[in-house]
Amino acid sequence: MVPFSILDLSHIVDGGTPGQAMNESRRLAQEAEANGYNRFWLAEHHGMKGIASAATSLVISHAAAGTQSIRVGSGGIMLPNHSPLVIAEQFGTLEALYPGRIDLGLGRAPGTDMRTAQALRRNMEAGAEHFPNDVVELQMLLGSTQPGQTLIAVPGADTHIPIWLLGSSHYSAQLAGMLGLPFAFASHFAPDMLMSALDIYRERFTPSQYLPEPYAMVGVMGVAADTDAEAEHQFTSMQQSFVALRRNARGQFPRPVETMIGLWTEMEKGFVDHAMSYAMVGSAATVSEKLDGFLAETQADELIISMPIYDLEARLRSVQLFAQAQQQLSKAA
């Protein structure tokens, strides 16, 4: 059975607060754990009125404190925004608090607009260019302490926290293969390079002390409900959010609407539909059928699902229905 996991952005819904968003993320992690999901990851974004996970390691800790067994981590930490030592200390602290449950997924995008990125990074070009070296430095800081080593992360050293590389292009696929690390691809907003990135990763994978063979996790957008119509209704929140992003009019995560007619142009609809090519929207039976074809096509080792749903109860129901779909696929296999 292909493991299912959850990617959460800790959405601040229309009329909600950051505290509410983080508590709902914790509740979502609990529901994922109860339904057998493998991991619960949170993403780093900055300067966005609809996302509360800017201080990602803190929100990870909040989710981990409310669960017992599910792996928790980042999907991902945008490493060029930070020094490797700071991330080693933060995730070493998480590992000390929640031993054996922490994942560290890394990306090289800013996770924000250019002005905010400049405030975070100061030197943006150097941050992106140094990404491979920073990954290797982070591996060293989280690995076994060597004789004579003077730079030591405390906590962090000797934890061997699993590091993942995340990407939406070929760059991270090549780097993950070269370093022998697990790879996660963001097909939930970048569908065009999915298959070629997976091919590159698998073809160029070099076995390492971290991983003997390639391990690819694929991200998808998912909204499941008791009926197809209800799922499509809930999905209008994400469609509105993508339109707002394209218009550079970011706000809180919107309530679902009865129809998107009049809320987007034909060009915007085309953009959103294309970006969401692999979105799994529908009843348990519908998403099961879509998942069957998608997993067969990608040969993914794991699936991580982002569930952008306004109402918490509807979000929890989606978690349950995707778990049911996973069981159906397992029985069919």
Question: Could you tell me the CATH number of the domain that includes residue 170?
Answer: 3.20.20.30
pLDDT at 130 (0 to 100): 86
Spatial separation of the C-alpha atoms in residues 181 and 184, rounded to whole Å: 10
| C-alpha–C-alpha distance, residues 133 and 146, integer Å | 18
Contact 36, 70 (CB under 8 A): no
Which pLDDT does position 127 carry in this prediction?
58
Query: In angstroms, what CA-CA distances link 212 with 175, 177, 264, 293?
Result: 16, 11, 47, 27
| pLDDT mean values, one per 10 residues, the chain (333 residues) | 96 98 98 98 94 97 98 95 95 98 91 69 64 96 95 97 96 97 92 96 97 98 98 98 91 97 96 95 96 96 98 98 94 79
Q: Say what the pTM is.
A: 0.95
CA-derived radius of gyration, the chain:
19
Range of the domain at 227: 4-332
* Domain count for the chain: 1
